[in-house]
Chains A and B, each alone.
Chain A
Amino acid sequence: MENLIALLIAAPLLGAAVLLCGGRRLDAVGHWIGTALAGASFVFGAVLFVDLLGKDAEHRTLTQHLFSWIPVEGFQADIAFHLDQLSMTFVLLITGVGSLIHLYSIGYMEHDERRRRFFGYLNLFLAAMLLLVLADNYLLLYVGWEGVGLASYLLIGFWQHKPSAATAAKKAFLVNRVGDMGLSIAIMLMFTTFGTFAFTPVLGTHEAEGLVGGTSEATLTGIALMLLLAACGKSAQVPLQSWLGDAMEGPTPVSALIHAATMVTAGVYLIVRSGAIFNAAPDAQLVVTIVGAVTLLFGAIVGCAKDDIKKALAGSTMSQIGYMVLAAGLGPIGYVFAIMHLVTHGFFKAGLFLGAGSVMHGMNDEVDMRKYGGLRKYMPVTFVTFGLGYLAIIGFPGLSGFFSKDKIIEAAFAKGGTEGWILGGCALLGAAITAYYMTRVMLMTFFGEKRWQPDENGHEPHPHESPKSMTIPMIVLAFGSVFAGGVFGVGDRFLHWLEPITGHDHGHPPISATTVTAATVAVMVIGVTAAYLQYGRRPVPVVAPRGSLLTRAARRDLLQDDFNHVVLVRGGEHLTRSLVYVDHTLVDGVVNGTAASVGGLSGRMRRLQNGFARSYAVSMFGGAAVLVAATLLMRAV
């Protein structure tokens, strides 16, 4: 059974190799190969899941050692896999949602002549992401981490003929580099501190404590903060959040799979997987919760102001991952709920993105929501599936988002003390804003009057429902959005599934769970009402109004790019300019001055070299005389 783990990764890796190296002769069948191998990976995952379910809850761990990767004395790195409940959850999410999105892409990318390549990249992403979650040590995890970064770069810039896409890809890559540096530093710190970076010896198991136990808190805080930096980069958390909005330049299936459901949650995985380190570093945990809370508000505010449907959803993604990071920062109180929200978010956000893609597909790739309106009549399936995803994300009672988000808000309060109140308050506020901006998206897209106009070429869009290959994944994901929360939440099934890995703690809830739930529902209703009053009862202007200062700032992603430009780009330019100045004046001055003086001196010394052996003999003889004189003087002294 263990051998299936390698096959899990090998299937999409094979797909990537075949599709990327196969050449044009595979153009006709490439997308089917890619989808079939993704599906195969999902089947392997399902088989493993059933196998795990059949085991005792405490022993649901499979490991597979493939080979020694770097067998150096004192530095052992293995290609080995570690499958437990946490990895299993991710495997199912990645392969499940991944397969659906492969299927969806067949229809979505039908007219793209580079479709085979697209599927190759998607398979490459699946393989790297599976490697990331299945690795049994941090170094192998790092390989997967970089692999998903590469796939993300390739897919964001898939339409590289658009300068915006190429720039967005570069931006994502560069910002991710900052985070990757954090991960590499964390791994190096681990190696110097523990002498190893394999999960089991470092983190320990539920039976035996790992090496973390006997290490100073300062070191652990350092490692944890570096891991947090890595998570911030990959999961688009403040301050490394700026790339996610631009990443929407990629094809919509990519946004759904990579930048909503799976890759951006890798940071959450990293934090939860390294729970033992974070648990031992309370300061780092506090930073994690702050990052999460700030990001969830940040993303939500940005999401409110965007007119581009994908960017609004990107802001939402950022905000939802903020929830997860917040939960992960709460320690054992929140780990399980972070993962649970991650899974339900994977369903409904992938569904929402696929819905958005379907809308764009029918609207000639128009992304401005102000030019939509009234689409519910034209694309009923998209409307229903998108609507179910919408209800799920705002936390409509009974749908999946309700269960997971409510648990996170409860956990935030359960942190206890002032922190608990502040974090809980932020989470509640975030829930209200989530309801507001999602309702806004919903109303602007599917309700109201039609606002689309012919484009500059005179083509009027003809909204139509998308083909079956696109609607089926949306329907499946809509099912997930509706029922996943119930399946997980009722009877604490998910909690029991994951508890052996992450541990669980009820914390100190200052108020009862019922009160929190009521408050969550109440703020959701307030948010929906506010959006309805603004966008439902009044016609939506086609040209965006100027808006308040906050709105304008939010449209510009709350000035994140301006901040980066002013602080990093300008600062870097000034730094390099001053360094160049120093180089030109000081370094070059010294170097050129030395060269000039040596040159001048040797120009004069050259005269001494007249080529006559007798002249040289005179200097030799004079030198001998000086030596004799020196000897005599030394004797005299």
Chain B
Amino acid sequence: MNPVNYLYLAALLFTIGATGVLIRRNAIVVFMCVELMLNACNLAFVAFSRMHGNLDGQIIAFFTMVVAAAEVVVGLAIIVSLFRSRHSASVDDASLMKL
């Protein structure tokens, strides 16, 4: 098997995640889809790391994980406080910018 297949898998997961972000209304699920996209990127990095024979790709994936952890902490905090004030976790409810 050609290891490039890992890249195809990463692309597929990324696309699924992106579509999920666009389709789902529950902010938590949207967030999960974002995590899915990040993970797809990580997979690509790891695969590239293997192809090029150095560890820099893994380092980047590592940093992505750290950043994702920080992001999740803040994002979930936002969702919780949003739910507290609006009693809803729907991203469509915050549509006050329209006419």
Q: Point out residues on A near B: beta carbons under 8 Å.
A: 606, 609-614, 617-618, 621
Could you say which of B21, B94, B95 contacts A610, with CB atoms under 8 Å apart?
Answer: B95
Report the minimal beta-carbon distance from A228 to chain B, rounded to whole angstroms: 68
| Bound-state Cα–Cα, A611 to B98, Å | 4
Contact bitstring B1-33, A, C-beta under 8 A = 1, else 0: 000000000000000001001110100000000
A618 to B18, CA, bound (A): 9
- Compute how far the CA of A612 lies from the CA of B96 in the bound complex, rounded to whole angstroms: 8
Q: Smallest Cβ distance from A620 to chain B, in angstroms?
A: 9
Question: Residues of B at under 8 Å CB distance from A?
Answer: 18, 21-23, 25, 91-92, 94-99
Q: Are the CB atoms of A621 and B22 closer together than 8 Å?
A: yes
Taking a contact as CB atoms under 8 Å apart, the answer to whether B22 and A613 are in contact is no
- How far apart sit A617 and B22, CA to CA, in the bound complex (Å)? 7
Which chain B residues border A618 with CB–CB below 8 Å? 22
Could you tell me the distance between the alpha carbons of A621 and B17 in the complex, rounded to whole angstroms?
12
Q: Which 9 A-B pairs have the closest CB atoms?
A: A611-B98, A611-B95, A611-B97, A612-B95, A610-B98, A613-B91, A618-B22, A612-B92, A617-B22
Q: Are B99 and A606 in contact (CB under 8 A)?
A: yes
Q: Do B96 and A614 have beta carbons less than 8 Å apart?
A: no
* Residue pair B91, A611 in contact (C-beta under 8 Å): no
Taken together as a complex, chains A and B put the C-alpha atoms of A606 and B99 apart, in Å, by 8
| Distance from B58 Cβ to chain A, minimum over Cβ atoms (Å) | 25
Task: Determine the distance from Cα of A609 to Cα of B97 in the docked complex, in whole angstroms.
Answer: 8
A-B contact pairs, 11 of them (CB 8 A): A609-B98, A610-B95, A612-B91, A612-B98, A613-B94, A614-B21, A614-B25, A614-B91, A614-B92, A617-B21, A621-B22
Closest to B99 in A: A606
Contact of A613 among B18, B23, B95, B99 (CB under 8 A): B95
Residues of A near B18 (CB, < 8 A) are 621
Residue among A612, A617, A618, A621 having the largest count of chain B Cβ atoms under 10 Å: A612
Known A-B contacts: A610-B95, A611-B99, A617-B21. Give 14 more (CB < 8 A).
A609-B97, A609-B98, A609-B99, A611-B98, A612-B92, A612-B95, A612-B98, A613-B91, A613-B92, A613-B94, A614-B22, A614-B91, A614-B92, A621-B22
Number of A-B contacts (CB under 8 A): 31
A388 to B55, alpha carbons, bound, how many Å?
119
Write the chain B residue with the least CB distance to A611: B98
Residues of A within 8 Å of B91, CB to CB, are 612-614
**Across-interface contacts of A612 in B (CB, < 8 A):** 91-92, 95, 98
Residues in A with CB closer than 8 Å to B98 are 609-612
Q: For the complex, what is the distance from the CA of A358 to the CA of B97, rounded to whole Å?
A: 85
Give chain B residues whose Cβ lies under 8 Å from the Cβ of A606: 99
Assembly CA distance A617 to B20 (angstroms)? 11
In the complex formed, the residue of A with least CB distance to B92 is A612
Residues of B near A613 (CB, < 8 A) are 91-92, 94-95
Nearest chain A CB to B7's CB is how many angstroms away?
Answer: 14
Chain B residue nearest in CB terms to A622: B22
What B residues does A609 contact at CB under 8 A? 97-99
Instruction: Please name all residues of chain A whose beta carbon is closer than 8 Å to the beta carbon of B95 when the two chains form the complex.
Output: 610-613
A343, B60: Cα distance in complex, Å: 99
Rounded to whole angstroms, the CA-CA distance of A610 and B22 in the bound complex is 15
A427 to B33 alpha-carbon distance, docked (Å): 105
CB distance from A599 to the nearest CB of B (A): 15
- Within the complex, what minimum Cβ distance (angstroms) separates A528 from chain B? 93
Q: Which residues of A contact B92 (CB under 8 A)?
A: 612-614
Residue in A614, A618, A621 whose Cβ sees the most chain B Cβ within 10 Å: A614
A610: chain B residues at CB < 8 Å are 95, 98
Task: Say yes or no: A611 contacts B96, CB within 8 Å.
Answer: yes
The closest CB in chain A to the CB of B95 belongs to A611
Q: Which of B23, B92, B94 has the most CB of A within 10 A?
A: B92
Q: Smallest Cβ distance from A624 to chain B, in angstroms? A: 9
Cα–Cα, bound, A168→B73 (Å): 84
Nearest-CB residue, chain A, relative to B24: A614
